[in-house]
A and B are shown apart, each in its own frame.
Chain A
Amino acid sequence: MSEFIDLRMGFFTDTTLCIGCKACEVACKEWNQLPSDGYEFTGDSYDNTKELSGDTWRHVAFVEQFDQKSDTGRWLMESDVCKHCTNAGCLDVCPTGAIIRTEFGTVLIQDDICNGCGYCVVACPFGVIGERQEEHTMGKCTLCYDRLKAGDTPACAKACPTESIQFGVVDELRERAEKRLSAVQNRFEGAQLYLNDPNDGVGGGGSIFLLLDKPEVYGLPPNPLVPTKDLPERWRTAGIAAALLLGAVVLCASARE
């Protein structure tokens, strides 16, 4: 993170408090004027949104864990969002410079520069980014950059009725997440923090989560890794291959049969 960032802002999503109301999804669509996803009925619990995409920047996941025989179980609900990674794959690979790190430490796609090459889509370890159906540029959560500029809270956090989505300074949110985990650990088996560790594969997230089961149960990758991590090694291997290719051509051109 560079010296241009004063305070890194982000989200702490506490899934123990989520009631699955989807107010965050609606508030996000309303504020950012995003088109609807259509009216497809998936049959996957209450989740008809399916996933984050270019036009859907909040997605509430619903997991039903019920034991048919004993008639007991639990609901898991989690509002997913862009992770605003410390080491962001999308930002690294963007060839136009459309994706930037803002003064709030967030990752932002500049709509007027993106040329829709789609490299960020395959470089995101969380499958967050997608194509915007009307603009044909790539889209994702901006952490409500325009609202932050005006000193306001992002629309989803503002709309969340249970404070499952909390907005604030990332360092403080990390501490808050640790405290919350130790408070609920005894009540919820499998409770764990996600992306709160600055030493993980993406250098930690600007979005931190308190989950009640393994990440993959919510559709989150278990050990996300920024793809650029071993890029120098890849260039070295490619350099060797290119040198061998040059040697092979010279060999074939100078050989006599």
Chain B
Amino acid sequence: MSESSGYYGRHLVKPPVWTDFIPLYFFAGGMAGTAATLALAERTARNDRSARTMILGAAAGSAVSAFCLIRDLRKPERFLNMLRVFKPTSPMSVGVYIFSAFAGSVFIAAGSELTGVARPAGRFSETIAGLIGPVMSVYTAVLIGDTVMPAWHLPRKTMPGLFAATSASCAGAWGMLFGSTRSNGSARRLAILGGTTMIAMLQALHHELGPVQDEAYTKGEAGAFARASRVLNVSGVVCATLAKKSDTFGRIAGALLLAGGLAERFAIYRAGCASAKDPKYTIEAQSST
């Protein structure tokens, strides 16, 4: 029997029982986090028009996130069991409290923004959401890192940076898609900076993984999503640099970068599944340590 085939080629660790709501959550939650932070920064800079676009984006992302998180449970009616304990050893437990505080604040802030009711409370909530935002955008990298899926566990240095960059790119993209060039300069700059960093971080992730483990990201469905994501992100960044005075270019750039961010989340998710299903990844990861 050959070294890497293990036991009849069967996986040594189990792939997730999760559904596609999970990568969709990483996308929506990440975007929402950074959007709330940008909303706070814009409010502070007295750019109320952009702040409005961004806090509403954060609310949309949070709503999608809440739906995804509950729908993915195999016992959705027991969702609240997550709140009966707080466990620092579980990034999902920590994450539930981060998400609850974040989404709660965002919904109050967005509700106040839309209705004009309770403005001071709305502004206060917007501040809280904006400060939690970066953590909301990045904690999911810890969540998937704290598993035995080699493609998630091994990129310990680059995964958080990649999640941060993708969230920045997507939040900026939201501002370009739904804002206008009169007020969305910050969003455009964030989209360009985030999109460029995302492309670079993905390269760094390939490097950190090494040639064998990297195959999980380059082959199969994960590879297809990764290639699609690269094309979308590169063209999105190019479009964004041309969009300084053009709303049309801005909207195209926004759509491209959001699609690129979504494809990248699916690439990471599928790579994790693939690295569990083929025993060679587990065996290689454990023989080199």
Contact = CB atoms under 8 A, between A and B. Distances in A.
| Binding partners A and B | yes
A51 B82 contact: no
Most chain A CB within a 10 A radius of its CB, from B17, B73, B93: B17
A249 B93 CA distance: 27
A117 B73 CA distance: 5
Interface string A217-257: 11111111101101101110110111111101111111101
B156 A230 contact: yes
Nearest to A231: B146
Interface stretch (A12-20, A29-37, A128-136, A175-183): A128-136
A144 interface: no
A241 B163 CA distance: 9
A238 B160 contact: yes
B74 A118 contact: yes
B148 interface: yes
A244 B286 CA distance: 32
A203 to B, nearest CB: 14
A79 to B, nearest CB: 14
A92 B90 contact: yes
A169 interface: no
Contact of B92 (A117, A250, A252): A117
A242 B14 contact: no
Give the interface size class of chain B: 35 or more
Interface string A79-103: 0000000000100111111100000
Contacts of A50: 10
Interface stretch (B34-42, B58-66, B107-115, B227-235): B34-42
A135 B12 CA distance: 25
A115 B135 contact: no
Nearest to B146: A227
Interface in B72-113: 72-76, 78-79, 81-82, 84-85, 87, 89-93, 96
Contact of B37 (A123, A240, A246, A255): A246
Given A97-B85, A136-B75, A240-B160, A252 B90 contact: no
A42 B8 CA distance: 10
Contact of A96 (B11, B85, B189, B287): B85
Give the interface size class of chain A: 35 or more
A5 to B, nearest CB: 18
B250 interface: no
A257 B91 CA distance: 40
B16 A118 contact: yes
Contact of B142 (A63, A234, A250, A255): A234
A120 B244 CA distance: 47
Given A65-B1, A113-B81, A115-B79, A121 B286 contact: no
A114 B156 contact: no
Contacts of B79: 115
Interface of B: 1, 6-8, 10-18, 34, 37-38, 41-42, 44-45, 47, 72-76, 78-79, 81-82, 84-85, 87, 89-93, 96, 133-135, 137-139, 141-142, 145-149, 153, 156-157, 160-161, 163-164, 167-168, 172, 185-187, 189-190, 193-194, 244, 272, 276, 279, 282-283, 286-287, 289
